[in-house]
Amino acid sequence: MVGREKELRIRFAPGRCELVEEDVDIPSRRVLITGATGLLGRAVFKEFNENNWNAVGCGYRRAQPRFEQINLLDSIAVHDIIHDFQPHVIVHCAAERRPDIVESQPDAASQLNVAASANLAKEAAGVGAFLIYISTDYVFDGTSPPYKETDVPNPLNLYGKTKLEGEKAVLENNEETAVLRIPVLYGEVERLEESAVTVMFDKVQFSNKSANMDHWQQRFPTNVKDVAAVCRQLAEKRMLITDSPVVGALRPKNAQLDCSKLEMLGIGQRTPFRAGIRESLWPFLVDKRWRQTVFH
């Protein structure tokens, strides 16, 4: 469904330009994405925007000019954007996700991962918005995979603990909340260090020397496009039934997540890792001829 709104646009003609008012189609389904400047947030924004949703993304340091600049620790700013935009769905991607940074800056991480999430959930409830809270496989200790939604969390590091506290906070403040736990992500990175999956590529590409990698921890790299598709499918499913190695911080050895509950709902998307990582790393490959040894 779409609505019609007026929009001012500049029209250029020979020797002059004029300001004209034109009708534009605005999708009636509204979604707000936090952390829209990040790896996952960008994919989520793109997924909704390309599938007939009126999507608004917000970020902080890298927000403008594409996204709204919002400090999630500013409760007034959060209140204003939610009550002005009146979203049907909010996808909360913003978080401090780096375990070692969380360990070194626990207060700041807790403010963003827990307190800001609680306030966002409360504001979402105030306008009847469905909230999708992005959590992590690090809420588990990695000793008994694969993990289901009903398994008891036992985070090993402070990052996992803050995300688990964030889960509890959003559920306490908004009954219309879905918690989506995700593993390590990769995708269309702006910088190779943006993903733990792609960060080693430069070292491998420009050196004949071996690179040190953790061979103890088992991870399950997931393409952000797939997570974004799941978020949109969750949102659309919801709207059908309602009106409205280990150095530093400890890591779980194997925190594989069981996706059967989503799959029973007909929700899911899986990009083969070989195809996904090829697409992610291709822009950073200096010598395209090297693809014969890297991607085949």
User: Would you say the pTM of this structure is higher than 0.85?
Assistant: no
In whole angstroms, give the CA distance from residue 274 to residue 30. 34
Q: Which of 51, 30, 26 is nearest to 244 (CA)?
A: 30
CB 229 within 8 A of CB 271: no
Q: Name beta bridge partners: 181.
A: 135
Place of tokens 């979402």: 124
Q: What value does the mean pLDDT take over residues 173-184?
A: 95
Stretch among 8-22, 167-181, 242-256 having the lowest mean pLDDT: 8-22
pLDDT tens-digit readout, 50-109: 999 999 999 998 887 889 999 999 999 999 999 999 999 999 999 999 999 999 999 999
Closest CA to 127 of 101, 164, 92, 89: 89
The pLDDT of 224-243, averaged and rounded, is 91
pLDDT band at 197 (very low <50, low <70, confident <90, very high): confident
Residue 65 preceded by cis peptide, ω within 30: yes
Copy the structure tokens of residue 2.
Answer: 């779409």
Please tell me the predicted confidence (pLDDT) of residue 244. 47
DSSP element (H, E) containing 42:
helix 39-49
Residue 292 has pLDDT above 90, yes or no: no
Top-confidence residue, 25 or 115:
115
pLDDT at site 274: 86
Question: Tens of pLDDT along 208-228?
Answer: 767 777 777 888 899 999 999
What confidence score (pLDDT) does residue 187 get?
Answer: 93
Give the active site residue among 60, 147, 159, 186: 159
What pLDDT is attached to residue 282?
Answer: 85
Q: Which residues contact 205 (CB under 8 A, 6 or more apart)?
A: 284, 285, 286, 290
Question: Among 29-38, 114-123, 230-239, 269-278, which is the least confidently predicted range?
Answer: 269-278
**Banded model confidence at residue 290, pLDDT cuts 50, 70, 90:** low
Structure tokens at 208: 């004949």
Q: How many CB atoms lie within 10 A of CB 169?
A: 22
Give the relative orientation of helices 39-49 and 224-240 as an angle to the nearest 10 degrees. 50
Beta bridge partners of 23: 6
CA distance linking residue 64 with residue 150, whole number of Å:
40
Active site residue 159: yes
Beta strands 89-92; 30-34: pairing state: parallel
| CA nearest to 172, candidates 109, 115, 129, 121 | 121
pLDDT tens digits, one per residue of 124-154 = 999 999 999 999 999 999 999 999 999 999 9
Q: What is the pLDDT of residues 3-49, one digit of tens each?
A: 556 555 665 556 666 656 666 667 889 999 999 999 999 999 999 99
Do residues 93 and 132 touch, judged by C-beta distance below 8 A? no
CA distance 161 to 183: 15
Mean pLDDT score of the chain? 87
Residues 199 and 144 sit within 8 Å (Cβ to Cβ): no
In the prediction, which pLDDT does 217 show? Answer: 80
Beta bridge partner(s), residue 11: 18
